[in-house]
Amino acid sequence: MLINVGFNGLETSLGELDHILLDAGFVRWAWDYEHATYDYKLEDRATKATFYLRVQAHVVKGDSLDHDTILKLEEPYIGKHLFPHGIDYQAVVPSSISEAAKKKLNSVKDKLK
């Protein structure tokens, strides 16, 4: 499920993005010479299901992923964790989870400006 909060096309440095997202509780799981991926874990207490909010950014300027590399963000998306290590991006996301995700992302977006 795509979460449209206005991230698409925003540009920032890797250093700034790392600082803001890591402070917000995200973890940078994947990175290479072309992109970085950050995840935030959300748990639905009612169903005991785990969801992951994912933010991806792609390199637009810079040779490698150093602090000065400029990244362009995509709209975040959310998926339900499948045991042992899969994610279902087509799963129904409870409104409490999507609202918590939007709140988290809006907080991050405010800091990116």
Domain boundaries, the chain: 11-112
Kindly give the confidence (pLDDT) of every residue in the chain, 113 residues in length, as a single tens digit, with 9 standing for 90 and above.
Answer: 888 899 999 999 999 999 999 999 999 988 788 889 999 999 999 999 999 999 999 999 987 778 899 999 999 999 999 988 889 999 999 999 999 999 999 999 999 87
Q: How far apart, in Å, are the Cα atoms of 112 and each of 62, 88, 94?
A: 19, 28, 27
**Angstrom distance (rounded) from CA 74 to CA 9:** 6
**What is the domain class of 11-112 according to CATH?**
alpha beta
Identify whether the C-beta of residue 4 lies closer than 8 Å to the C-beta of residue 108.
no
Could you tell me which of 63, 35, 41 has the C-alpha nearest to residue 54?
A: 41
Write the single-letter amino acid at 62. Answer: G
pLDDT of residue 106: 95
**Angstrom distance (rounded) from CA 61 to CA 67:** 12
**Angstrom distance (rounded) from CA 99 to CA 109:** 15
